[in-house]
A and B are shown apart, each in its own frame.
Chain A
């Protein structure tokens, strides 16, 4: 009964600067287009290798269609020495008359139909937008102090990371003053993506360029060859997808409307209950 007496008081705080909000949504669009057009490009040769060249018998991942004994077709995915039946999704997909042999299915590639040339056009146009947008974000985030103030974890936060992890796995999210800042796990995840995964995706992508390999031969050595770079590029994309899925999940469970509003208008609601922890 006393809970009505300590009804939480909601306060709107300013959380995300305009530059962060704009670059966030441009980045989201770019990543979606890059992923889908990237899978179109991947489908042109749905096999990954390690090293400089592609030797068919040394593939580390491949998706293809095979004919079964009864004459029907199946989609299979081979990773190392393990083969999986992935009919309908990888290797063979489509419905009715449109069943075809393709790495990733039509619903996730851009364009949906097989068209490497157009996939490349989308990919490189949005790669430019992605890089320019990323540079604008980086310049802002470093010059404004956002990186140092909001993204860099403090020594204290790192020392108490264990407590933060146990709070997270129980879906206990910070309230009040604490909610005004990024949590330490959030900071580390963002830093890993901004300064690790995304730059690695760009570098491995550029290493596939025969012209850039002539100017920067160290790129080939960095990744262990052009085909390794292609594999790393694929893994980076997979890592980004994983990050986005976790990001979506966290946004959903920690208040989807509040989170969306803060990334659109900048305003984030926090609960400041006078009664302390209820």
Chain B
């Protein structure tokens, strides 16, 4: 009797140790790579987005800081330079010939020069930039508010997202792009920034124009924006997940 018990105890101890070791030893990597299991984990994003959108009033502002809080060194992440020949020739003339193209599901497709953008209703804000990697930096951004610009071009009723097309490429995965929904697009702090810390955007930070969408993580803040396209869905665009990093597995809703 005592022997049997010892055996059973030994078996249980061994299986518990084996189970623990399996998880610690990398059998979980098979789960991480399994498409159906990943799909299951991905459902958490829907829950997070649903709950955050529910409690987040559309106009709740991200905290704004003071001049004294500015980061001494604001890390430039992702692309820090652009190889595209078209972009290079635009940069050489100080983006004098650069134009932001706004098209897709809009009533009046538009092209705007940097000078024209600077004349639009603008906003200056000192905000915290939270990278998905974990670091934060505080910068001062000035740019054209997206909401009045969208009102002037007129969105068609079936427009649900804005896709930002960028000039940079990261690795071999093609041009950077991002997308936001209309809740974020019409938020007062959502701006097309042309100015950082009081001077024109530099190339590492996305010259001539980058998006600031303050209630989401850094990778949503697309740099080197060349065009904005209003769409009803991004399912058939590129990887189908609405952005460069999203196609590589990151959340489309980057509020956390």
The interface of chain A, by Cβ under 8 A from chain B, is 32, 36, 41-42, 44-45, 47, 52-56, 106-108, 110-113, 115-118, 120-122, 124-125, 127-128, 206, 208-215, 217, 220, 226-227, 230, 256-257, 260
Contacts and interface: CB of A to CB of B under 8 A. Distances in A.
A52 B33 CA distance: 35
B210 interface: no
B119 interface: no
Interface centre among A41, A47, A208, A210 (most CB of B within 10 A): A210
A79 to B, nearest CB: 18
B168 interface: no
A214 B24 contact: no
B28 A56 contact: no
B24 A213 contact: no
Given A122-B32, A208-B256, A226-B128, 5 more contacts: A42-B134, A210-B128, A212-B56, A220-B63, A226-B136
B217 interface: yes
Q: Is the contact region of chain A dominated by helix, strand, or loop, or is it mixed?
A: helix
Contacts, number: 138
Nearest to A127: B44
Contacts of B256: 124, 206, 208-212
Contacts of B214: 210, 214
A118 B32 contact: yes
A45 B43 contact: no
17 contacts: A36-B28, A41-B134, A44-B134, A52-B138, A116-B250, A117-B249, A121-B249, A125-B41, A125-B43, A127-B44, A128-B44, A212-B255, A213-B63, A214-B61, A226-B128, A226-B136, A260-B12
A169 B29 CA distance: 41
Leading 9 A-B pairs by shortest Cβ distance: A211-B255, A117-B249, A45-B134, A125-B44, A209-B256, A111-B32, A54-B135, A44-B133, A121-B41
Contacts of A45: 131, 133-135
A214 B56 contact: yes
Contacts of B61: 214
Contacts of B69: 52-53
Nearest to B62: A214
Given A121-B249, A217-B63, A107 B48 contact: no
A265 B138 CA distance: 54
Given A53-B137, A210-B215, A217-B63, A107 B25 contact: yes
Contacts of A32: 23
A53 B250 contact: no
Contacts of A226: 128, 130, 136
Contacts of B38: 118, 121
B123 to A, nearest CB: 16
